[in-house]
Each structure stands twice: as structure tokens, then as C-alpha cells.
Amino acid sequence: MPADFDLAVIGAGAAGLSVAAGAAQLGARVALIERGRMGGDCLNTGCVPSKALLAAAHAARSVREAARFGVIAAEPGIDWDRVRAGVQAVIAEIAPVDSEARFRALGATVLLGEARFIDPATLNVEGRTLTAGRFVIAAGSRAAVPAIPGLEKVPYWTNDSLFDLAEKPDHLLILGGGPIGLEMADAFSGLGCRVTVIESDRIAAKDDPELAAGLRLALTRRGVLLREGATVQSAAPGPLLILADGERIAGSHLLVAAGRTPNLAALNLAAGNIAVSRAGIATDRGLRSVSNKRVFAVGDIADPAGIGPRAFTHAGSYHAGIVIRRALFRLPASIDYAALPRVTYTDPELAQTGLTEREAVAAGMKVRVLRWPLAENDRAVAERDTAGLVKLVVNRNRIVGAGILAPRAGEMISLWSLAIARRTKVSALAGLIVPYPTRSEAAKRAAGSFFAARLFSARTKALVRFLRLLP
């Protein structure tokens, strides 16, 4: 019997929507299944609302810091209800792009409900049985809650609930110093809240330590209290966190931002003969299940070749392209994370692509590190905002990694992802013409420093003196 659909996509978050939209527009019979809200975490509780909240915080901070330009302003008032309404308005404006109506108009069949595998080729969705030639699991992830004694008795928020917070916190405790924790620390401190971040390792642990140090300095100067290398031993109502060294940290609200865990439980993966790892659904480098060749996994839930998930919306979109090539066109395709960028959207932003210095050295590369501080960039000086650094990692005259700590670093990092992906020589980047004055000049100057020692050497100077004698 022919299958009901060519492709059944489980999850209407960023990754699932990208697969469904592409496949439907190519004429495939697509079922798109979602148990919650269309748009998933990114639209409703992640990327979109967090950036809207950060925009409000940065607007307030610009008022506070206007005096550096001779513009005298009073402390900004924060209308929390209007801030919340503004965040929801942004979600509502983007929501039609992810809506049921749009995907039905594209030709997809949208089913609202829980999807469970009955067997390796069949799903059940709220009592309806359906078959498909290929299945794409894009069920996403949720906030991981650490096993801390007493935490179950403490009201806490995660990113899933934070943007429904009815009152502005007086003192927000944030458990976790990764991207979500740091972004919300920046947002709530900018909106006038006291903020304490508790992190068992160091903040921004996956990013270059030198760039993370610059971000640490920026946050602490704004009053964010960072407790790094701190293990929470127990929690009590208050909320109150008791650290392993006996320190007691009390606040008015608690945000748990201690990582993500894949949404596996409801899918009945065993019935579908779908192998899982500790990090998600086990796939090959082409995102196909290692145990059920009908099944692909994309987004936060995919663990390709044991590499681990990459919980970024843009990674989900990248995965979608690979799956469409493999599932619909039967073409070979596999992941390559060598130039996958990531950004922590604090102020300044911390953007990273390719290898960090430590990762390159650990991989056995002989590297040169090129740096250019924003304190030596004219645009940064003109805007009285010189905190930041461009750091390039070079191996054999080619860029293998880049990190930028700067305002709008996320807008600057794409060039360096392209340079890594295309194995561009440093000389080509050093010779790039960039507009003046921009912060992008700092990256060009960093690349140019690769040749400085050779260019201004005694040998080169001697050559210039010799050439000067020629008619």
C-alpha cells in the first residue's frame, strides 16, 4: 500500500518548519505535526522574545549612558506591563510566518496533537494513524532542571515561562552562565533588576576564555554579580540557594538556565526502532537514524555521529537543507560544523565561528593568533564604546577560527564563517576594502597583522632603501 505522506514532520519549531516548507514547495505530500504552539521554542519562548526583551534593556541602558556624549537624561522609568506587551507584540508580528494557515497554503497537512510511533513505518496522532515514506523528528528540546535537593519546593522559571512573568523581579537569581543565562542577566539588569548568576564552571564555557573575560568585565561593570565555580548544594523557598562552600544567596525570583534536554519521552521511539543516545536521537552525519532508515532527526534533538546537538535555530535550518537533499532528491549530504557560527546576544555580543585557540591547539594545529582591540578602532572610539576584541586563529595562512566581542558582533561574524568554509587565505582578507569608520575594520586590521612582522622587517626596509637608489 502506498504511504499516506511522502514526509511526516514531527515538530513545528524552526527546524521542522524549514523541512516542511521546503518539501511542500517542492511538491511533496507533507504532514506537519505539532502538539503545542506553531513556531516552537524559537518563536514563543526563545530567540524572538529574548531578543525583544534585550532590545528594551539596551534602550534603557542607552538612556542611562547618554551622559558620556553630553546628553543629560534622568534614570529611565520601566513600565513592566508595556515591556511585556512589547515582547508579545513582536511574537505576534512574526507568528503568521509560522502559522497553520501559511503551511496549509503551502500544501502541507497540519495536524495538531501528540505524535507517537506505532511501528517503524507508522505514527499515531491523537487517534489518527498515518504512514509516510520518510519521517523527520524535529521535536526540539526543553530546559534541563538539575537535581538539586529542595529545588522541587521552590517556584522557579525557565525560558518556557519567563516571558509570562507578571512582575519585574527585584533580585533575579540565574542558575547557569551559558548563552541563555547571560542574555537574561544582561536583559534584566538593563531593566533595573539586581541579578546574580551562579555557574558551576565559568561563564560562556564553550567560548574562547579571552573573549569570555571581556564579557565578564562588561557585565560586572553594570552590576551583575557573577559567582563562577560555584556548586549549588541545595535550594529552599525564598528563593534561597545554598552553595557547597556554605554561602547562602537569596533573591526574589529564580531562573533555571542550566542547559537543554531533548524531548524524547512522548514519541515511543522504541516502537519505531529508533536508537537514542544520551544527547538525543542517534544519527549518521547525514542526520538519518542509525537504526531506522526511514527516519531523520533535525534541530536540538539530533545527535549526529555522537557529535552532540547544536541548539541553534540556524543549525536547524541548515539541517533542513541536508534532509531535503537526502530524503527527497536521494543525494548525498552530511553535516559540516567547521564554520557553524554562534552568538551570545549580550552587550557587547560574543560571536564565535570555527575553532577556538584551545580547540585548534588540541587538534594538533600549529596556530598563530591575531588580535585587534576595539580600543584601537575609530568607530568604537567615536561612539565611546571600546570594550571588545577581534581574535583570529590561523593555521597555514588560512583562518580556522574567529571570535569577536563587540556591539553587533553577530552581524560581523558571517564573513569569517565564509572565510573558514571556503578556506580563504589571510592575505585575501587583509586586502579586503571595508568602509570607514566601521567596527569591521578591526577584523581587517587583525588579519593584516599577520604580515606586519615580515612587512616591516629589517630586510624589507633594506629593500626599500635599495629601490630608492634606482632612477
Q: Three-state secondary structure along 164-213? A: CCCCCCCEEEEECCCHHHHHHHHHHHHCCCEEEEEECCCCCCCCCHHHHH
Residues 6+ apart with CB under 8 A from 235: 148, 149, 150, 151, 153, 154, 241, 242, 254
Contacts by residues 362-369 (CB-CB < 8 Å, ≥ 24 positions apart): 365/395, 365/400, 366/395, 366/396, 367/393, 367/394, 367/395, 367/400, 368/393, 368/394, 368/395, 368/450, 369/393, 369/394
Cα separation values, 169 from 80, 202, 436, Å: 10, 24, 42
The predicted structure's pLDDT at residue 92: 97
**Residue where the block lists cell 568602509:** 435
Q: Do residues 236 and 154 touch, judged by C-beta distance below 8 A?
A: yes
Give the CA dihedral 263, 269, 272, 273, nearest 10 degrees.
Answer: 120
The predicted structure's pLDDT at residue 87: 97
Residue ranges of the chain whose pLDDT lies below 70: none
Average pLDDT, the chain: 95
Its pTM stands at 0.93
The predicted structure's pLDDT at residue 177: 97
Angle of the 14-25 helix axis to the 313-327 helix axis, nearest 10: 30
